[in-house]
Structure 1
Amino acid sequence: MTNAPHTPQVTDHGGGVWSIPVPIPDNPLGHTLVHLLDTGRGPVLIDTGWDDPASWDALERGLAACGTSIADVHGVLVTHHHPDHHGLSGQVREASGAWIAMHEADAAVVRRSRETDPHRWLDYLAAKLTAAGAPDAHTAPLHEARAGGRMRRMPGGRGALPDREIVPGELLDLAGRRLRAIWTPGHTPGHVCLHLEERHPGRGPAGGEVDVPQGNGRLFSGDHLLPGITPHIGLYEDPDDAALADRGDPLGDYLASLERIAALDPAEVLPAHQYAFADAAGRVRELLTHHAERLASLRTLLTGRPLTPWELAESMEWNRPWAEIPYGSRNIAVAEAEAHLRRLVKLGEAEATVGSDPVTYQATS
């Protein structure tokens, strides 16, 4: 493969690593940074981008700027199952014969999304939102879609099934590279970061400057660690397993995962959004502080009176006023509120109000 120059479309990070911005349609994030890793058996992609013709074209152009093509792709490593990361994986495999690898927990989500009756999902979502205290006006569109048969596919129902499993702690089978999988659940149950255990190719004295420290390699962080965004923490949900709502602690998982990444102390982080950055440990401290402050503020809210998850979400600080949050984003916000409630309950700082329907929560005395 030839070295790709630094252009607005493609960044050559050195040492056989490139990033390709692949657009996300109608999304304020703008694009996903698909990373290309050169190996002894051909290029391997870390994520692929959104399943959209414009995104596919951008990926093709980006690979060409790296001196290769989709037909040459040897494999795809998926950090997590979300469509802006996994969306084009199946099309890449069809065009190249590449394998697709994913953590088993997220592979299970992909299988469930492909197999679950979409009407079952609508029933589940409506019941879940009702139990969280959502008003009838919010759940009415779900009942209408269910009655009208307007939903023919589960969200993520076109996601490609992986061929291989990413096993946490193990080196991946990549010729000539040392890339280790780090399980970092929280954003999704099977999110992984990928630690490139190779000396960073920062320029030394001969080059006249050093861009970044050269020790501790580089980290492909997916959505787990981003330089200026706090990743969404929702719930691990299964429409056919109602008991799942009472199990797990996604926010606790995320916080513990952050600690593992800080301990790695990589020289540079290559995230899936925004831009590459150094000082992973510093960013981890910022995120830990953010969530500690948010948990404390939510506990304060719960000392005033019992609140439903919906009411708590309405009271939380978002990037815009609640009245301006779109319909689908409100569902995400309520899930995030529930994830924080679950953490407070695990910590013994909040509890469900006995006999409440919909369920309300209050701070423990």
Structure 2
Amino acid sequence: MTKEWGRPVSQVTEHGGGVWSIEVPIPDNPLGHTLVHVLDTDDGPVLIDTGWDDPASWDTLADGLAALGTSVTDIHGVVITHHHPDHHGLSGQVRDASGAWIAMHAADTDVVRRTRNAEPGTWLDYLTAKLTAAGAPDDHLAPLRAARASGRMRTLPGLSAALPDREIVPGDLLPLTGRRLRAIWTPGHTPGHVCLHLEETHPAKLPGNGRLFSGDHLLPGITPHIGLYEDPDDTTVTDPLGDYLDSLERVERLAPAEVLPAHQHAFTDAPARVRELLGHHEDRLNGLRALLATPLTPWQLAERMEWNRPWDQIPYGSRNIAVSEAEAHLRRLVKLGRAEAVPGGDPLTYVAA
């Protein structure tokens, strides 16, 4: 790919060594945008993530590629860090326009397939049941029941996400001619989240081991959401927070020279950021255990947890995410033997052990 700058595009950043990022907007979201990375290969440009499925996002992606002297039709492949719609949303359109392949970890491909094949009301029924079991009040459950009755499930993102046609195998090099990009499985944010390690000397000779495309796993100033892995048909008791903490330590040992995340900005000293996040979660677990001096439902625990705003100012949908995060922390406390379920409760409550 030849970089032939046309009119200035402020959303494009050059990172050197045949790597660029494009700020693709996320509509009505405080994150603002997803950083879609463009990797030059001997077979043509490859995208790492694609951005949200929205006309303005598509236009921004197309404009950014044009500023690099290429186009959507030239894309050779798409590597997806995880299945969330701000990362995977435009993948199908890119493939339709270019014939590019799409690669994703099998665990997240399963999520995409399951969501595509689900009956319209399955997820609303599941969410309603989960929130009921978590102790959500009736006034929170009522809109879900109304949405189920009206069929509005069809308007939610992710219901028609593209099925990948290649599998990202942890530890393997991706088949990119002229580049060494290795998949690092980092579950936690999603069950199939991957980081991608560019095993090449940093273009500015920064100390460390290459560069890491970190998706949402490692961000410079945000703690990614860690909730439950949702599968209505699977009764396995997962430990997403434990998975995430283990994955953080894997990245710390890797010690990349620079991290290229999917939000915010590139940064160095990944081990220091990992230690900050490990400390944050340990502090949070200790704080939640202190709250559990009195038995609480997951909903009651979420109400008392510290968020970026008071509970009564958290939007409706974000409360569902908050409760899922509270449950993920509860599962970790139970697994560590620092909390336990109180028998016989309906809804179930938990208390410090």
TM-score, with structure 1 as normaliser: 0.94
Structure 1 equivalent of residue 306 of structure 2: 317
Residue 147 of structure 1: how far off its partner (Å): 2.2
Q: Does 1:221 align with 2:214?
A: yes
The count of corresponding residues between Structure 1 and Structure 2 is 351
Q: Tell me the SS of whatever aligns to 2:143.
A: helix
Residue 155 of structure 1: how far off its partner (Å): 4.5
Match of 1:16 among 15, 18, 24: 18
Q: Tell me the SS of whatever aligns to 2:154.
A: coil
Q: Does 1:148 align with 2:150?
A: yes
Runs of 4 or more consecutive aligned structure 1 residues displaced over 3 Å after TM superposition: 3-7
C-alpha distance in structure 2 between counterparts of 1:122 and 1:15, whole Å: 46
Q: How does 1:185-334 map to 2 (within 5 A)?
A: 185-202=187-204, 213-241=206-234, 243-244=235-236, 247-303=237-293, 305-334=294-323
Gaps of 5+ in 2: none
Structure 2 equivalent of residue 3 of structure 1: 3
Letter in 2 for 1:148: S
C-alpha distance in structure 2 between counterparts of 1:150 and 1:297, whole Å: 38
Q: How does 1:33-182 map to 2 (within 5 A)?
A: 33-152=35-154, 155-182=157-184
Residue 158 of structure 1: how far off its partner (Å): 1.4
Q: Does 1:359 align with 2:352?
A: no
C-alpha distance in structure 2 between counterparts of 1:155 and 1:360, whole Å: 32
C-alpha distance in structure 1 between counterparts of 2:4 and 2:137, whole Å: 53
Residue 248 of structure 1: how far off its partner (Å): 1.1
Structure 2 equivalent of residue 335 of structure 1: 324
Percent identity between the aligned chains? 77
CA RMSD in angstroms comes to 1.2
C-alpha distance in structure 2 between counterparts of 1:7 and 1:160, whole Å: 28
Residue 151 of structure 1: how far off its partner (Å): 2.3
Structure 2 equivalent of residue 208 of structure 1: none
Q: Which 10-residue stretch deviates more, 352-361 or 113-122?
A: 113-122
C-alpha distance in structure 2 between counterparts of 1:7 and 1:279, whole Å: 29
Gaps of 5+ in 1: 204-212
Residue 55 of structure 1: how far off its partner (Å): 0.2
Letter in 1 for 2:169: V
User: Residue deviations 1:38-95, cap 9 Å, x none?
Assistant: 0010000000000000000000000011111101000000000000000000000000
Q: Tell me the SS of whatever aligns to 1:112.
A: helix
Letter in 1 for 2:70: T
Letter in 2 for 1:309: P
> Would you say the 8 A contact 1:103–1:166 is kept in 2?
yes
Q: Tell me the SS of whatever aligns to 1:193.
A: strand
> Would you say the 8 A contact 2:48–2:80 is kept in 1?
yes
Letter in 2 for 1:315: R
User: Residue deviations 1:159-178, cap 9 Å, x none?
Assistant: 10000000000011000000
C-alpha distance in structure 2 between counterparts of 1:293 and 1:172, whole Å: 37
Letter in 2 for 1:348: G
> Would you say the 8 A contact 1:121–1:154 is kept in 2?
no
> Would you say the 8 A contact 2:120–2:151 is kept in 1?
no
Say if 1:4 and 1:311 are closer, same or farther in 2 by CA, change over 3 A: farther
C-alpha distance in structure 2 between counterparts of 1:61 and 1:154, whole Å: 27
Letter in 1 for 2:232: P
User: Residue deviations 1:285-343, cap 9 Å, x none?
Assistant: 0000000000000000001x100000000000000000000000000000000000000
Letter in 2 for 1:257: S
Q: Tell me the SS of whatever aligns to 2:248.
A: helix
C-alpha distance in structure 2 between counterparts of 1:197 and 1:240, whole Å: 39
Say if 1:61 and 1:155 are closer, same or farther in 2 by CA, change over 3 A: closer
Q: Tell me the SS of whatever aligns to 2:197.
A: strand
TM-score, with structure 2 as normaliser: 0.97
> Would you say the 8 A contact 1:114–1:154 is kept in 2?
no
User: Residue deviations 1:78-116, cap 9 Å, x none?
Assistant: 000000000000000000000000000000000011011
C-alpha distance in structure 1 between counterparts of 2:255 and 2:217, whole Å: 15
C-alpha distance in structure 2 between counterparts of 1:109 and 1:154, whole Å: 15
> Would you say the 8 A contact 2:21–2:35 is kept in 1?
yes
C-alpha distance in structure 2 between counterparts of 1:167 and 1:153, whole Å: 32
C-alpha distance in structure 1 between counterparts of 2:336 and 2:220, whole Å: 28
